[in-house]
Structure 1
Amino acid sequence: MLDFSPSPETEALVARTRQFVEEVVIPREAEVASEPHRLESIRGELQQAAREAELFAPRVPRDHGGLGLNWRDSALVFETAGRSLLGPQALNCAAPDEGNMHLLHAVGSAAQQARYYAPLARGQVRSAFAMTEPAPGAGSDPSMLSTRAERDGDGWVINGDKWFISGADGAAFAICMARTDDGPTMFLVDADNPGFEITALTPTLDHAFPGGHCEVRFADCKVGADAVLGEIGKGYDYAQLRLGPGRLTHCMRWLGIAGRALDIAMDYVNQRESFKKRLAQHQEMQRLVAESAIEMHASRLMIWQAAWCLDRGEKALHETSMTKVFVAEAVNRVVDRALQMCGARGISEYLPLANFYREIRGFRIYDGATEVHRASIGIRLLREAAKRSDT
Structure 2
Amino acid sequence: MTIDFEIPAEAKAMRERVRQWVQDECIPAEKRLLDGEDYSKVLAELRQKARAQGLWCPFIPKEYGGMGLGPLANALVQMELGQSHLGALSMNTQGPDDATMLTLLEHGTPLQKEKFLKPLLNGEKRICYSMTEKAAGADATGMQTRADKVGNEKYLLNGEKWFSSAATAADIALVMAKTDPDAPRHRQFSTFLVELPNPGYRIKRNIPTMAIEGPLTHIMGGGHAEIEIKDLEVPAENLLGGEGNGFSMGQHRLAYGRLRHGMHNVAMAQRALDMATKHVTNRSTFGKKLDERQAVQFMLAECASQLYIARLMLLHIAYKAERKMDIRQENGIAKVFLANMVHKVVDTAIQLHGALGYSQDTPLAGWYTRIRSQRLVDGPDEVHRWTTGRNVIKAFKATGTTAGACGGDLL
TM-score bracket, normalised by the shorter chain, equals over 0.9
Give the structure 2 partner of residue 80 of structure 1: 80
Give the structure 1 partner of residue 144 of structure 2: 146
> 1:170 and 1:249 mapped to 2: Cα distance?
20
CA contact (8 A) 1:158 1:178 kept: yes
Q: Which residue type is aligned with residue 294 of structure 1? A: S
Give the structure 1 partner of residue 210 of structure 2: 205
Give the structure 2 partner of residue 169 of structure 1: 168
Change (3 A) 1:3 1:148: farther
Instruction: Give 3-state SS (helix, strand or coil) of 2:356's partner.
Output: helix
Give the structure 1 partner of residue 115 of structure 2: 115
- Equivalence map 1:16-35=2 (5 Å): 16-33=17-34
- Equivalence map 1:1-391=2 (5 Å): 3-33=4-34, 38-134=38-134, 136=135, 138-154=136-152, 155-181=154-180, 182=183, 183-206=188-211, 207=213, 208=217, 210-211=220-221, 212-388=223-399
CA contact (8 A) 1:244 1:315 kept: no
Percent identity (aligned)? 37
Instruction: Give 3-state SS (helix, strand or coil) of 1:161's partner.
Output: strand
> 2:35 and 2:145 mapped to 1: Cα distance?
39
Instruction: Give 3-state SS (helix, strand or coil) of 2:291's partner.
Output: helix
Change (3 A) 1:46 1:3: farther
Residues 72-112 of structure 1: per-residue CA shift (max 9 Å, x gap): 11111001111111111111111101111111111111211
> 1:190 and 1:268 mapped to 2: Cα distance?
48
Instruction: Give 3-state SS (helix, strand or coil) of 1:95's partner.
Output: coil
Q: Which residue type is aligned with residue 94 of structure 2? A: A
> 2:157 and 2:36 mapped to 1: Cα distance?
37
Change (3 A) 1:42 1:162: farther
TM-score w.r.t. the length of structure 1 is 0.94
Residues 266-291 of structure 1: per-residue CA shift (max 9 Å, x gap): 00001101122210000011111111
> 1:227 and 1:346 mapped to 2: Cα distance?
48
CA contact (8 A) 1:258 1:331 kept: yes
CA contact (8 A) 2:126 2:171 kept: yes
Q: Which residue type is aligned with residue 200 of structure 1? A: R
1:149 Cα deviation (Å)?
Answer: 0.4
Instruction: Give 3-state SS (helix, strand or coil) of 1:260's partner.
Output: helix
CA contact (8 A) 1:175 1:188 kept: yes
1:40 Cα deviation (Å)?
Answer: 4.7
Structure 1 unpaired stretches of 5+: none
Instruction: Give 3-state SS (helix, strand or coil) of 2:50's partner.
Output: helix
Instruction: Give 3-state SS (helix, strand or coil) of 1:169's partner.
Output: helix
1:258 Cα deviation (Å)?
Answer: 0.4
CA contact (8 A) 1:2 1:305 kept: no
CA contact (8 A) 2:14 2:73 kept: no
TM-score w.r.t. the length of structure 2 is 0.90
1:56 Cα deviation (Å)?
Answer: 1.5
CA contact (8 A) 1:174 1:190 kept: yes
Q: Which runs of 4+ in 1 moved over 6 A?
A: none
Residues 299-340 of structure 1: per-residue CA shift (max 9 Å, x gap): 011011112222222342211111100111011101110111
Instruction: Give 3-state SS (helix, strand or coil) of 2:169's partner.
Output: coil
Q: Which residue type is aligned with residue 190 of structure 1? A: E
CA contact (8 A) 1:329 1:364 kept: yes
Instruction: Give 3-state SS (helix, strand or coil) of 1:174's partner.
Output: strand
1:350 Cα deviation (Å)?
Answer: 2.3
CA contact (8 A) 2:96 2:127 kept: yes
Residues 224-273 of structure 1: per-residue CA shift (max 9 Å, x gap): 11111102111111111111121011100121010000000000001101
Q: Which residue type is aligned with residue 318 of structure 2? A: A
- Range moving further from structure 2, 344-353 or 219-228: 344-353
